[in-house]
Amino acid sequence: MPRISSIEDVVERQLCTGCGACAWAEPQRFVMRDIPTFGRRPGYVDNPADTTGKALECCPGAGLTHAYDSLSPPVLKDLESCWGPVLAVHEGHATDQVMRQKASSGGLASALATFALERMGAAGVLHVGQDPAHPLMNAPTFSRSRSDVIASCGSRYSPASPCEALSTIEEALAPSVFIGKPCDVAAVRMAAAHSEELARNTAFTVGFFCAGVPSTRGLLDLLKQQGVEDSLQVTSMKFRGEGWPGNWVATWHDAAGAERKAELSYSDSWGFLQAYRQWRCHICPDHSGEFADIAVGDPWYRQVTPGEPGSSLIVVRTQRGREILDAAVAAGYVALTRQNVSHILPQSQKNLLKARGALWGRLTALRLAGVPVPHYEGFKMFEHWLRELSLFEKIQSVSGTLRRIYRRGLRRPAGVFEVGERLPAANAELDIKA
């Protein structure tokens, strides 16, 4: 079986998550760019330096290792095998009604970010927002105020590389907050082991639940389906928010210059985009932010009534996370509507239980076929493959993976990152027309 021994291997074997940590770790060698079919990927800068190996050591695509003390503080044993370290599960929302309305669910991540800025003296919040130059795209955003945070409320179901901007946290005059996908947060954890400045200046991390990242091609195809003639004419793109769960909304100018708008429900838009998820997401062991201080998601354990204000599922994962949440509640930034309700986590995310179980079958099929896989340590998968999946689903987890091996060309390098090739350094240089 081919080994993964470089960032180039990670990219070529379609294991890259697009987090951008490699571009932060070795900026003299890598720069992030968007490849519509695959997503955000590193390429070479002009005259790249030799690798130091630091980028690979910070790469969640190459592998993830779970290492934590389950006794200090004690984690909830009934959740640990599938959900990682969990100290408490709550339901709640931001008390700021504008923030709650504009956010994807209850605005918990935004409320915690604002609390850190206004009460903890945080220098900023590194997260993802709409790229002002290319509204289809995402860009790392360093928010310094409540208005900045609110301007970027809402999910972005398209490729993003927030970790390429980790230097903003390192160089900030005070500790800062990081908000990102589970793989992004894991990359921050690994990167902090190589940077005392980053470790010291990261106030806390917030991870949000993630079912996978669609490629830019998926978004382009969705726009085309909705009648967008030229994606470069798009002026705004919202995936959720303005209600719970909120709609996908695209605004653009047509050939005559008139403003037009397309709108789809969350279920319809995600139903279309999920078919374009990058390969690494299909073999991901962490969809719920297990490496974060606090993880947030949607409390889908109950039916959402039309017009209901947003609510957030809150998973406290570290003692630091517990302290931050308690302080934000005491300061009036967060309201908890249900406390210590651990049973609503598996009830809210039943699909993620299935995903953890199917992962063992997928990885086994890949290994038998000689396809490289990430190195995962500390994740329990086999017991969930036995317990959560029916016989048909077990067979499907293996047979479906075997089909994907050939459909996605996983037995050979993808040809995305060829050694010696000089790749575009900015999205502006890419042809992203539909």
Outline where 155-215 has alpha helix (H).
Answer: 167-170, 182-192, 196-201
* Residues 379 and 279 grouped into a single domain: no
> In terms of domains, do 32 and 155 share one?
no
Domain range for 280: 87-214+275-349
d(CA 149, CA 151): 5
Quick one: 285 and 152 in the same domain?
yes
Q: Which of 349, 376, 401 is the last residue of a domain?
A: 349
Is 80 within a domain? no
Beta carbons of 342 and 86 less than 8 angstroms apart: yes
**Contact call for residues 96 and 359 (beta carbons, < 8 A):** no
CA–CA distances in Å: residue 175 to residues 172, 191, 197: 7, 16, 10
Beta carbons within 10 angstroms of residue 421's beta carbon: 10
Domain co-membership, 91 together with 175: yes
Whether this model's pTM surpasses 0.75: yes
* Same domain as 300, residue 334: yes
Q: What is the pLDDT of residues 38-95, one digit of tens each?
A: 999 999 999 999 999 999 999 999 999 998 888 889 999 999 999 999 999 999 999 9
Q: Give the chain's domain count.
A: 2
Both tokens of residue 400? 């479906």
Residue 270 lies in a domain: no
Residue 138, in any domain of the structure: yes
- In this structure, the answer to whether residues 298 and 388 fall within a common structural domain is no
Same domain, yes or no, for 317 and 363?
A: no
* Domain end marker among 300, 333, 349: 349
72, part of any domain: no
Helix (H) or strand (E) holding 119: helix 108-119
Q: What is the pLDDT of residues 119-141, one digit of tens each?
A: 999 999 999 999 988 888 899 99
Whether 233 maps to a domain, the answer reads no
| Domain assignment of residue 55, yes or no | yes
Q: Say if residue 183 is in the same domain as residue 314.
A: yes
Residue 23 lies in a domain: yes
Identify the CATH number of the domain in which residue 146 sits.
3.40.640
56 occurs within a structural domain: yes
SS3 call for 248: strand
The residue out of 294, 321, 349 marking a domain boundary is 349
Regarding whether 95 and 48 lie in a shared domain, the answer is: no
Same domain, 386 and 334: no
Residues 343 and 202 in one domain: yes
**pLDDT of the chain, 434 residues: tens digit per residue:** 678 999 999 999 999 999 999 999 999 999 999 998 999 999 999 999 999 999 999 999 999 999 888 888 999 999 999 999 999 999 999 999 999 999 989 999 999 999 999 999 999 999 999 998 888 889 999 999 999 999 999 888 989 999 999 999 999 999 999 999 999 999 999 999 999 999 999 999 999 999 999 999 999 999 999 999 888 899 999 999 899 999 999 999 988 889 999 999 999 999 999 999 999 999 999 999 999 999 999 999 999 988 899 999 999 999 999 999 999 999 999 999 999 999 999 999 888 888 888 999 999 999 999 999 999 999 989 999 998 899 999 999 999 999 999 999 999 998 887 544 443 333 333 333 33
Residue 183 sits in the same domain as residue 117 = yes
